[in-house]
Amino acid sequence: MSIFKWVSVLFFVSSVVDFGFCVKVCSSWKDYWGFSGNNTCRENLDDEGEFSDIVSRWGKKVQTYVVSTYDGYYITLFRIVPESNNSAPVLLLPGSFMNSIAFVDRKKKSLAHQFAVAGYDVWFINWRGTRYSRHHISLTDKDSAYWKFSFNEWGTRDLWSALNKIKTVNSKKVLLVGLELGTTAAFIYASEYPDLASENLSGMVSMSPITVPSNAGYMLKAVYTFGFPYIWQPILDFFYHGEFPASIRAIRATDLCKKGGITLGRLCDAYFEIPIGLDLEQQDPETLPVIIAQNKDSEPVLNYQHMGQILSTKTFAKLDYGPKKNIALYGQDTPPVYNLSKIRVPQLFYLGLNDKFGTVSDASVTYQQFSTEYQNTFHVIDYQKFGLADFVQAKDINSLLHEELIKNVNELIAAKLK
């Protein structure tokens, strides 16, 4: 039998035999199949849980805030209530096709858990168009007009409104902690409103920072510059009114991958990781089922159009609407450039050697645009296979990243308080 037939059989068996992939997690891959003789498997309720349910199982309380933006969107913020009223605030910014659950669905390996036990006042933003932020003052998420935004509006409107709200609850400066396009939104906010950023922010932590990904992997470049504008955009505009659903974007987000058994789940995750940096060694048997179930969400078609433009022009600039509309919107016939040199906030960068989107070489170019006064940390993770997905799902994420990140943040905050 050919290798292709064996793979087909494997997919079929994994799809029809239920190994409890939805709720059962085990300490090793062998334990899922019962090969080891150990009984390490147990139920994990986080795979279908809401944000507040997941965090409440840590013994923490969650507060929910809904803020409106000046263009009519309603944005949901979550807050893990700190034990001290003197805690420094941290705002976590999800990347593409994610919401705030991506920072809490790995129990003690979750980045939010690390900040919470370190004594911080941990906040989360859910970008417009994602699971917890689908409402608008007059539009529905079925209207094409609803989806006329990109990560530019994430930064200039959603983040602006979120920080204003946090300031009413905790008057201390906020540390922004972003992943991938979450960092892009943070750079946009801080460059568009440099005075506000200097006043409101204690620092900016960027995991896989994205501005101009000139050295992105060839598969990502192909998607942004060819596959998206000529294939996906017409389909998504026609059938999904400008929304890019997670299940269309990544096979890992489909029900088949979620419910088809652990073997199929691992294959789906590997397929998902190939364009952004494959790392099979860091697939985590204890949390991969939950990650596949939870780390998925929608985003606007315009995100891909905007990033495709940045890739083509090699310029970190606002969305190009054509000369006539550009003049009306921007007062010039070309889109303005986001000027990172205006940012007066300490920068902490964390990079993966195998990250095909936020590459070390591109991040170095971005980092050099900041004044040396604000170049705080440029940390390349000491593991050759560390890819983009590893920032939220690596098995050894605490030792590879979180311990160093929290240490550096503690030092930054302590220095600010002197």
User: How is the chain split into domains, by residue range?
Assistant: 51-250+296-417
For residue 276, give the nearest of 252, 301, 256 by alpha carbon: 252
Cα dihedral 309, 315, 319, 325 in deg (nearest 10): -110
| Better-scored residue on pLDDT, 115 or 239 | 115
Helix spans in 274-338 (H): 288-294, 301-313, 323-330
Dump pLDDT digits (tens) for 394-412.
999 999 999 999 999 999 9
How far apart CA 191 and CA 189 sit, in angstroms, is 6
pLDDT confidence of residue 418: 60
pLDDT score at 229: 77
In this prediction, residue 3 carries a pLDDT of 45
pLDDT in tens, 356-373: 999 999 999 999 999 999
Q: Which of 47-51, 281-285, 338-342, 394-398 has the weakest average pLDDT?
A: 47-51
Average pLDDT over residues 88-113: 96
The pTM assigned to this predicted structure is 0.92
Contact 111, 177 (CB under 8 A): yes
Q: Which DSSP string corresponds to 3-39?
A: HHHHHHHHHHHHHHS---TTTEE-SSHHHHHT-S---
Distance, CA of 38 to CA of 343 (rounded, Å): 54
- Residue in the structure block whose two tokens are 């409107």: 157
What rounded mean pLDDT belongs to the chain? 91
What's the whole-number mean pLDDT along residues 100-129? Answer: 97
- Given a cut of 70, is residue 355 above it in pLDDT? yes
The secondary structure of 371-411, three-state, reads: CHHHEEEEEECCCCCCCCCHHHHCCCHHHHHHHHHHHHHHH
pLDDT of 101 > 90? The answer is: yes
For 293, what's the count of Cα atoms within 13 Å in the CB-facing half-sphere? 23
Whether pLDDT at 7 is above 80: no
Instruction: Assess contact for 189 and 160: CB atoms under 8 A.
Output: yes
Alpha-carbon distance of 202 to 330, in angstroms, equals 30
Output the CATH code of domain 51-250+296-417: 3.40.50.1820
> pLDDT tens for residues 16-72?
333 434 468 999 898 888 765 567 888 888 888 899 999 999 999 999 999 999 999
320 in Cβ contact with 335 (< 8 Å): yes
pLDDT at 13 over 60: no
Q: CA-CA distances (angstroms) from residue 360 to 285, 307, 354, 365? A: 28, 18, 9, 9
Task: Using the predicted structure, report yes or no on whether residue 4 has a pLDDT greater than 80.
Answer: no
